[in-house]
Amino acid sequence: MKISEEILDNISSLSKIKIDEKIKPKLISDLESILEMVEEMNKIDTSNIEPMSHPIDEAKNLREDIAAKEIKRDDYQKSAPLIDDGFYLTPKVIE
């Protein structure tokens, strides 16, 4: 797909991003090459490929989520600058 300077100006206006005149030719070239790559990818037949939620099956590298009743609140709050009745006190951020 060819990208004209008018299309680039429209993209710039819609995205509220000012594009310097010096980089417009390079940006147009880069965007065109990206669109060409996407067009090539769209030509690939993926009808027999099952969609995946993640490209790696063994992506479950997190620890097992086990509920524990024991909470060491007093130990956790030892390093807090201000606490009151088990709550962390913070400065007011909204006036």
Q: What would the pLDDT profile of 62-94 be if each residue is shown by its tens digit?
A: 778 888 888 888 888 999 999 999 899 998 888
* H helix or E strand, kind and range, residue 13: helix 5-15
| Domain-embedded: residue 68 | no
| Domain-embedded: residue 37 | yes
**The total number of structural domains that make up the chain:** 1
Domain hosting residue 36, numbered range: 5-42
- Provide the whole-model pTM: 0.51
| Domain-embedded: residue 59 | no
At 83, phi and psi to the nearest 5? -140, 155
| Domain-embedded: residue 14 | yes
Determine which of 11-25, 37-51, 55-69 has the lowest per-residue pLDDT on average: 55-69
